[in-house]
């Protein structure tokens, strides 16, 4: 029995354009009536189209399907399936990581919001980072531009990282730098090479806190001055650059506000014996 293209489209629930595409790729070869140029498909053609729909459900693209459904050996088909299996496994792993990251991010937002202006002492986790902006000026070296493009692909596992030099912390300076950071779990997951300008940041004893700033250009190292006071009150010596990350930008009391988590390396003060 012969079927018009509209009949085939209704039988299989696909568009006539898709049927014509597979015809162009040589998967189906309908008879054409020389009088009216109508296409007529037989059950053999429909079987090939069903093969195409079969492979589509595995996630293969139209161009891939065109090759798989027309002329392919069992060995070649097996290799296609192996590649698709690896692709799906990688996608599943990323979705698993994304689900975990969403949970972590949500928890961190609740924690940071309630911790603004408060301090405690914690050991930081290990991570890697790089800097590509000093104050409002981006470093346009090609090396950093390439690195930035690479790291943008790691989002949202990266964090927007800032750093304030020890000198600026102690002298209430206004200079700071920005870049990105990435936890060691994700460094291993993505097979990231740790080489300059990427820096490895070991675990350190730090004062841990959070602060917020509202409005464009309101970020300032001076906003962590309260942490210096807390260090003095608790007999701690500031021992390195302050660093942290932007947790989020959100409305707070009607203003666009950045919420920041911050760490300040410290050591217990050594009191001389007399």
pLDDT tens, residue by residue, 13-59: 999 999 998 888 888 888 888 888 788 889 988 988 998 889 989 99
Q: Which residue has the tokens 């097996």?
A: 78
- Residue 226 pLDDT > 90: yes
Residue-level pLDDT at 64: 87
Question: pLDDT band at residue 271, thresholds of 50, 70 and 90?
Answer: low
DSSP line for 86-147: HHHHHHHHHHHHHHHHHHHHHHHHHHHHHHBT-EEEEEPPPEEEEEEEETTEE---HHHHHH
Residue-level pLDDT at 218: 77
Task: Name the residue among 137, 235, 124 with its Cα closest to residue 178.
Answer: 137
Residue-level pLDDT at 220: 85
Residue-level pLDDT at 233: 93
Residue-level pLDDT at 108: 92
Residue-level pLDDT at 1: 80
45's enclosing H/E stretch is helix 43-56
Q: Could you tell me the domains of the chain?
A: 3-72 (1.10.1660.10), 107-268 (3.20.80)
Q: What number is the average pLDDT over the span 87-113?
A: 93
Residue-level pLDDT at 252: 86
Question: pLDDT band at residue 162, thresholds of 50, 70 and 90?
Answer: very high
Average pLDDT over the chain, rounded to an integer: 90
- Residue 73 pLDDT > 60: yes
- Residue 166 pLDDT > 90: yes
Q: Are the CB atoms for 69 and 44 separated by under 8 Å?
A: no
CA dist 135 and 140 (Å) reads: 14
Residue 223 has a CB neighbour count (10 Å cut-off) of 16
Q: What number is the average pLDDT over the span 76-88?
A: 93
Classified as helix, coil or strand, 73 is coil
Q: How distant, in Å, are the alpha carbons of 129, 194, 195, 234 from that of 200?
A: 7, 7, 9, 29
**Residue 164 burial (CB < 10 Å; 0-12/13-18/19+)?**
buried
Of 10-14, 35-39, 123-127, the one with minimum mean pLDDT is 35-39
The overall pTM is greater than 0.85: no
- The DSSP symbol for 273 reads P
Q: What number is the average pLDDT over the span 113-121?
A: 92
- Residue 274 pLDDT > 70: no
Classified as helix, coil or strand, 194 is coil
């Amino acid at each position: 029995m012969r079927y018009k293209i509209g009949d085939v489209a209704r039988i299989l629930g696909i568009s006539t354009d898709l049927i014509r595409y597979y015809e162009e790729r040589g998967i189906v070869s309908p008879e054409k009536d020389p009088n009216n140029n109508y296409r007529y498909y037989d059950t053999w053609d429909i079987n090939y189209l069903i093969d195409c729909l079969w492979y589509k459900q595995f996630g293969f693209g139209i161009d891939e399907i065109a090759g798989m459904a027309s002329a392919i050996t069992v060995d070649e088909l097996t290799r296609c399936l192996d590649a698709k299996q690896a692709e799906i496994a990688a996608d599943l792993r990323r979705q698993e990581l994304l689900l975990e990251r969403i949970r972590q991010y949500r928890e961190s937002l609740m924690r940071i919001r309630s911790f603004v202006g408060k301090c405690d002492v914690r050991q930081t986790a290990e991570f890697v980072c790089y800097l590509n902006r000093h104050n409002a000026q981006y470093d346009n070296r090609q090396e950093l531009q390439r690195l930035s493009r690479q790291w943008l692909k790691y989002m949202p596992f990266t964090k927007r990282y800032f750093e304030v030099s020890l000198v600026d912390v102690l002298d209430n300076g206004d200079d700071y730098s920005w870049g990105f950071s990435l936890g060691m779990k994700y460094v291993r997951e993505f097979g990231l090479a740790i080489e300059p300008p990427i820096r490895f940041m070991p675990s350190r004893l730090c004062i841990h806190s959070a602060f917020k700033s509202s409005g464009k250009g309101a970020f300032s190292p001076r906003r962590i001055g309260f942490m210096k006071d807390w260090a003095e009150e608790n007999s701690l010596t500031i021992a390195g650059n302050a660093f942290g990350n932007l947790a989020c930008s959100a409305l707070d009391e009607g203003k666009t506000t950045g919420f920041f988590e911050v760490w300040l390396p410290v050591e217990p003060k050594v009191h001389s014996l007399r």
